[in-house]
Amino acid sequence: MQLSSNEERMLKGEAGEAKQLSMEVLTKVGEAAGADRLVPIKSAHVLAHYSSLHEAGIEVLEKFANGGGKFAVPTTVDPASIDLVNWRLFGIQEEYARKQFRLCNAYARLGGILCWTCVQYQVCNFPKAGEDVAWAESNSVVFANSLMGCRTNKITSGLDIACAIAGLTPRFGMLLDENRQASVLFSLAPDALTDLDYRSVGFFIGKIAGSRVPALSGLPAGTTSDELKHLGSAAAASGPVTMIHYVGFTPGSGSLQAVSEGRKLETIEIDRKALDEVEGELNQTEERPDLVALGVPHLSPSELGELARLIRGRSLKRGIRMFAYTSSLGYEMASMSGIRSDLERAGALVSHTTDGEISPLKQMGFNVVLTNSAKMAELVSTEGEVELRYRPLRGILDEVME
């Protein structure tokens, strides 16, 4: 891998310990991945939750911070494992919170933009089409490549910090034109899609596509960015998907001809039977839930407003709690508009800076979680601590609200 003279100096330690450590990580990863060089990035997005980073993550972050590290590009921060404001209200143990706050302190010292959200592309990190970025959150990687027209690989923990401090990323994978071409086409058959269907479509694509870059045709013209957010999130949870060519939505993918570049692609139909099978796979039990978890990835202000409209005048049944996860900006907007008051009046709690997928749900006293998030149903169920149920939003509300 070729390095510039400035990169060579950083690797030798002439720009400080943190940049030297970052360059060591970048060069080793780049060489292993077959990268020819490093390229500048416009922004980074880094992982922040203790439930994944653990003690080793704290040590690495504090080593970078103690070595004088500073993020070289705007760097947003993924959710924490706890609600950083109301963690006691959510039953988080003090020792667990203390470890998460050590991570928070390290990110602050490094100069992170402490947005604590997995949907930074809806809040505060807006790259332009054609720009290279280094993002670690899987749902945002799919969104960036598929809808924003920028380029990023799925950056792993540790590498994300190195990219942010050096302002560089290895040039391989989804940064290269030849790796972004669609190689399998999914054709959507159902006409009317529920909120759950969009997630199930994504889950089906991720599971079947494997390492191939998928295209998807047949999406309704009125499909929203929130619906595509959840679709891409599910695809990244069930498989190694980093980009989907949404025919008619993805920049440069306005038609099947543009997606395939004249090549014949294997076509896989997604019909109602396939979606029902996904729903069956992600349902582990029919037991009564003790928690309803909404917002993995984070709900936008418009999604919070729709939730408030659906539950206005109703109340949660006894023994069931509902957490609606959002970004800090979403929380503030919901508070100012009265949406949060409407949700809380019905018995729901609006939580920010965290989400259910990375929270210690078992420690918080929950055993059966009901959600419309395929990502949460897939990732949380693999840990085996709690059982997951997977249903459309209206079905959830009809079951848990009076």
Q: For residue range 196-218, what is the model confidence (pLDDT) as tens digits? A: 999 999 999 999 999 999 999 99
Kindly indicate the confidence band of residue 262, based on its pLDDT and cuts at 50, 70 and 90.
confident
Residues composing the chain? 402
Q: Which CATH number fits domain 181-271: 3.40.50, 2.30.29, 1.10.357, 3.90.79?
A: 3.40.50
Superfamily of domain 283-400: Aconitase, domain 3 (3.30.499.10)
Kindly indicate the confidence band of residue 382, based on its pLDDT and cuts at 50, 70 and 90.
low
Phi–psi pair at 268, nearest 5 degrees: -120, 125
Kindly indicate the confidence band of residue 270, based on its pLDDT and cuts at 50, 70 and 90.
very high
Supply the pLDDT for residue 87.
94
Check: CATH 3.40.50.300 for 5-176? Answer: no
Supply the pLDDT for residue 64.
95
- Average pLDDT for residues 33-44, to the nearest whole number? 98
Supply the pLDDT for residue 348.
97
- Same CATH fold, 283-400 and 5-176? yes
- For residues 241 and 233, give the distance between their C-alpha atoms in angstroms, rounded to a whole number: 9
The pLDDT mean for the chain works out to 95
Q: For residue range 316-348, what is the model confidence (pLDDT) as tens digits? A: 999 999 999 999 999 999 999 999 999 999 999
- For residues 82 and 323, give the distance between their C-alpha atoms in angstroms, rounded to a whole number: 12
Phi–psi pair at 126, nearest 5 degrees: -125, 80
Kindly indicate the confidence band of residue 381, based on its pLDDT and cuts at 50, 70 and 90.
low
Q: Which residue has the higher pLDDT, 62 or 380?
A: 62
Domain boundaries along the sequence of the chain: 5-176, 181-271, 283-400
Q: For residue range 121-175, what is the model confidence (pLDDT) as tens digits? A: 999 999 999 999 999 999 999 999 999 999 999 999 999 999 999 999 999 999 9
Q: Is the pLDDT of residue 22 over 70?
A: yes
